[in-house]
Structure 1
C-alpha cells in the first residue's frame, strides 16, 4: 500500500512543491489549504494520488474532518506536514498590529498544534512521521519580531514531540529554511532558496530508515 502524506498550506510554495515531490516518489498526498481553486488545479496535476481538502488550520474541526477523509480515501496516514504559515505586514512590537498578531499566532502556533492533534491518532497506528515548518528566524533573535517568536515555538515544540513520539516509534522533524522564494513575500527572491529545495529536505527526512529520526533539517541559501 502506498504511504500517505497530509500537507497543510499545500496550495502554493513549499507545500505544493512537497506534494509534487512526494507524489513523484509514489506517495498519496492529502492537500489542505483555504484556496479551493489552487488546490483543485494542483490535485488535477497530480491525479489520483491527490486529495484536495479545503481546511483552515486555525479551525481544529476542519482538520479533524480532513484527517478522517484522508484515511477514508487512502486507508491510513503515514506522515503529516504542518506547513501552513503567515507573516506580518507591520513588523516589530511597538509598531505592530495586535489583530495581525492574533492571525499569525492562530496559524503559526495553534495551526501546528491543531495539525498535530488531529493527525497523531492515525500516525500512532502507522508509527508515522510529523513534520513542522520552522525557520531560520526560529533559531536566532530578530528584534521585536512576533513572527520569529512563533517559529521559536515551532522549534521547541518539535523537540518536545520527538520525545513524545519516540515512545511508540514515531518521528518528528522540524524543517528550518532561510529565505525561500515563495508567495509568502510580496517580491520575488530568485536568488534565494526555491520551494523545491525545501521539498527535498522534507523527502530526505521521510526517506530515512525507521530506526533513524532526523530531528531538524536546517537549510540556507548560499548567497
Structure 2
C-alpha cells in the first residue's frame, strides 16, 4: 500500500502547480501550497479540503519567506516528504539584443533564485525523511533556441536538477527534473489547446513521486503529440 506523503508545492496557485496539487491529493497525499496569490490559494484549499491541503502565501524569491513557509508546513504536518519546486515565469521580449533587462531580473529571481532557495530550505527536512525533490525545468532547457534567455534559465534548472540528484543520492534521496514542452497555462496570453495540458505535467510528477523507493526517476521529458 502506498504511503501518504506530505508534499510542498511552490507556484501552486494556478496552472501546473494547482493541477499537481489536485492530482497528488487524489493519489492520497497531503499538500502544503505556496504562491503569492492568497486568494487563489485559499480557493484551492477550499476545493481540496483543509484536512489534506494548507496554504502559506509567500514570495518564493525571498529566502526568508520560503524558509518560513517550510517551517510552517513542517509544523502543520509534522514532516516533509517531498517538494515540487514549480514557481516560474517567462518573458514577453525575445532575444538578447531586444530583451528587457528588468524582465530578465525578475525571471532570474523566480526561475533560478527561488529554485535554489526552495532547495536549500527544504533539503534538511527531506534528508530526515529520505525524501524527494521535484523541479520544473522545460524542454527549452534541453535544446538550443535562438536568443532564448528564458531557455537559458531553464538550462540552469535542468543542470541544477541533475547535480542535485547526485547530491541527494548520498543519503538515498531522490530528485526528478520535469521537462515539459509547451503547456496550455496562464503563462501564455492565448490558449494553446493543442499543446500539453497542466494535468499532463501533474501526471508526470505523480509518476515520479509514486515510483517504488528503489526507483529514482531522474528526469521526465514531455512533448505534445501534435507538433507545429
Asked if 1:216 is matched to 2:214, the reply is no
Q: How far is 1:109 from its partner?
A: 0.4
Match of 2:43 among 41, 44, 50: 41
Structure-2 residue corresponding to 1:122: 125
- Paired with 1:56 and 1:91, the residues of 2 have a C-alpha distance of 25
Match of 2:25 among 23, 26, 32: 23
Structure-2 residue corresponding to 1:156: 159
* Aligned structure 1 segments of 4 or more residues deviating by more than 3 angstroms: none
What are structure 2's unaligned runs of at least 5 residues? none
- Paired with 1:57 and 1:147, the residues of 2 have a C-alpha distance of 18
Structure-2 residue corresponding to 1:104: 107
Structure-2 residue corresponding to 1:173: 176
Structure-2 residue corresponding to 1:182: 185
Match of 1:68 among 31, 47, 71: 71
What are the Cα deviations for residues 160-218 of structure 1, in whole angstroms up to 9, with x where unaligned?
A: 00100000010100000000000000100111111001000000000111111111000
RMSD: 0.8
Paired residues in the alignment total 223
- Paired with 2:211 and 2:163, the residues of 1 have a C-alpha distance of 20
- Paired with 2:220 and 2:193, the residues of 1 have a C-alpha distance of 22
- Paired with 1:142 and 1:37, the residues of 2 have a C-alpha distance of 36
- Paired with 2:137 and 2:78, the residues of 1 have a C-alpha distance of 29
Q: How far is 1:2 from its partner?
A: 3.4
Q: How far is 1:3 from its partner?
A: 1.5
